[in-house]
Amino acid sequence: MYLHNIFTRTHSLCKCHFVRKISAQITERKFDNRKYQYDLLVIGGGSGGLACAKETALLGRKVAVLDYVDPSARGTTWGLGGTCVNVGCIPKKLYHQAALLGKAIKDSKSYGWNFDESKIIHDWGTLKDAILGHVRSLNWGHRVQLKQKNVDYFNAKGSFITRNEVEILHKTGKKENFSAENIVIAVGGRPKYPDIPGALEYGITSDDVFSLEKPPGKTLVVGGSYVALECAGFLTGLGFDTTVMVRSICLRGFDQQMATLIANHMANDGTKFLHGCIPLKIEKAADLLTVKWESKDKQLHEDTFNTVLFAIGREAYTKNLGLEKIGVEFHPDSRKIVGQNEQTSVPNIYAIGDVLLGKPELTPVAIKAGRLLSHRLFGGSTQEMDYENVATTVFTPLEYGCVGLSEEEAIHRFGDNQIEVYHAFYKPLEFSLPQKDASQCYIKAIVSKTNKKIVGLHFLGPSAGEVIQGYSTALRCGFTLEHLQQTVGIHPTCAEEIVKLNITKASGLDPTVTGC
């Protein structure tokens, strides 16, 4: 019996070894017969590129990801995960939360908490190190996930040789060529600098602000973008003297009534604004930066700052990809890629995320588009990405969440007499005891008169992102004013004020909410 068992086990082991050997030979032969090394090659290791790569690997295809971060003008670099993880959404939200906590400490006195305010000191280094530590854990997590899903990862640059071949440049300087049946461009974008003396030499961008070794001190933020206002908001909240220089309008592309309310709230909160101003020059003397600018009345001004942060927009990081060589069409100014359903002008080359012309520059958009693209290429799906009615939130001190059309867009699309705007000013209960200013807490729903569908919803107030997420689902499902007004609110919350909307702008009645 003992000898029989030994023989049986030995036979089984040999059989398993034989099967594995045959299987390996079959796999090897299959690989040898491949026309290309990879089914999919992704250039760019941001949220969209990683999502597309991992999804494709789960579908059983051979995938590689190339990701390399060129240092910023200030020498800042980071790890795998793209803008959102490293120098965007994640650190931004954590700095924003730090600023909110500082205000909450002060508000807590109204709720009976007693403490010596002179002993409350914020330490920039502690916050910076904690956030960078969290970001590095996310970098590592992405690398582990790629390994687990058998995605080949290369910390290297890629540029096109042909529509199916890419030259890889490693950190060591070594070059090699990879081939792929399909290639996805997901390199995202980088902040722009103005073409003025001293900007590149002395200015920073959002690529740098989250990892500054020293506190930024007195700061000038140049730009009216959401990045500009978010950075200015948390810098003010952390106690730094902060000024925003705006050339024209704040939050271009967003609802302008909401943008004005946001800027007013920030001004009331301590952020200074220079409207209609253009920077001309930055000079450095010792540790101070002298900024010279021109105001809209053509007068010249100057002031000194410790830090100048540019947030004047971003451009697609495609200049070194060799797109011209293979005929991929792109916009000459923004260098964003022209595409239809993520497919470029070259049929086997695709683009997702911030690099794609005319699409929302939002992480969840890139992730969803990447996954859907993977399933269309390799999973037999026909589902396309729907870029309409995507919700977003601007994390200014008073948060702004929106989904659907702005009032300006709705008027342009339907006509001024074909929409009705329901609105309300409200006071969050949390603002009551500290007697905080709630004059900018505002909600509006834009309604089509034709079918009473809500085509745009805008919320300015605490936790706007959490509030607008659920309503975005309802809007995508085609909910109407009747659906909204028949919904029972959760009391006492800020979100319930949305379902209580009943006053129109056209009526001229006071939309201020009073009592319960």
Start-end of CATH 3.50.50.60 domains in the chain: 34-191+313-388, 199-312
- pLDDT confidence of residue 19: 35
DSSP code for 477: T
Architecture of domain 398-499: 2-Layer Sandwich (3.30)
6-15 pLDDT tens trace:
334 444 444 3
pLDDT tens string, the chain, 516 residues long: the values are 433 443 344 444 443 443 334 333 333 333 444 799 999 999 999 999 999 999 999 999 999 999 999 999 999 999 999 999 999 999 999 999 999 999 999 999 999 999 998 899 999 999 999 999 999 999 999 999 999 999 999 999 999 999 999 999 999 999 999 999 999 999 999 999 999 999 999 999 999 999 999 999 999 999 999 999 999 999 999 999 999 999 999 999 999 999 999 999 999 999 999 999 999 999 999 899 999 999 999 999 999 999 999 999 999 999 999 999 999 999 999 999 999 999 999 999 999 999 999 999 999 999 999 999 999 999 999 999 999 999 999 999 999 999 999 999 999 999 999 999 999 999 999 999 999 999 999 999 999 999 999 999 999 999 999 999 999 999 999 999 999 999 999 999 999 999 999 999 999 999 999 876
With H, G, I as helix, E, B as strand and everything else as coil, classify residue 446: strand
Q: Which long-range contacts (CB under 8 A, 24 or more apart) does 196-200 make?
A: 196/279, 196/280, 196/281, 196/282, 197/281, 197/282, 197/283, 198/281, 198/282, 198/283, 198/284, 198/289, 199/279, 199/282, 199/310, 200/73
Could you tell me how far CA 324 lies from the centroid of its own chain? 28
- pLDDT confidence of residue 32: 44
- pLDDT confidence of residue 30: 39
What fold is seen in the domain 34-191+313-388? FAD/NAD(P)-binding domain (3.50.50)
Taking the whole predicted model, whether its pTM rises above 0.85 is answered as yes
CA angle 184, 476, 84 (to 5 degrees): 40
Note whether 165 and 183 are within 8 A (CB): no
In the chain, the amino acid numbered 486 is Q
491 catalytic residue (yes or no): yes
Return the HEC string of 202-214: HCECHHHHCCCCC
Q: Which residue has the tokens 């906590």?
A: 101
Note whether 40 and 184 are within 8 A (CB): yes
Question: From the CB of residue 34, how many other CB atoms can be counted at a distance below 10 Å?
Answer: 12
**Between the CA of residue 302 and those of 239, 279, 292, 343, what are the distances in Å?**
23, 9, 4, 48
110-147 pLDDT tens trace:
999 999 988 999 999 999 999 999 999 999 999 999 99
Nearest to 72 by CA among 236, 304, 314: 314
- pLDDT confidence of residue 515: 73
- pLDDT confidence of residue 62: 98
Start-end of CATH 3.30.390.30 domains in the chain: 398-499
What is the per-residue DSSP string for 307-321?
EEEE-S-EEES-TTS
Domain 199-312: which CATH number of 2.40.50.140, 3.40.47.10, 3.50.50.60, 3.90.25.10:
3.50.50.60
Catalytic residue among 4, 96, 423, 491: 491
With H, G, I as helix, E, B as strand and everything else as coil, classify residue 342: coil
Structure tokens at 214: 């020293």
- pLDDT confidence of residue 510: 97
- pLDDT confidence of residue 514: 86
Note whether 397 and 246 are within 8 A (CB): no
Torsions phi, psi of 441, nearest 5? -75, 115
Nearest to 203 by CA among 96, 311, 82: 311
Structure tokens at 311: 């947030």
- pLDDT confidence of residue 16: 42
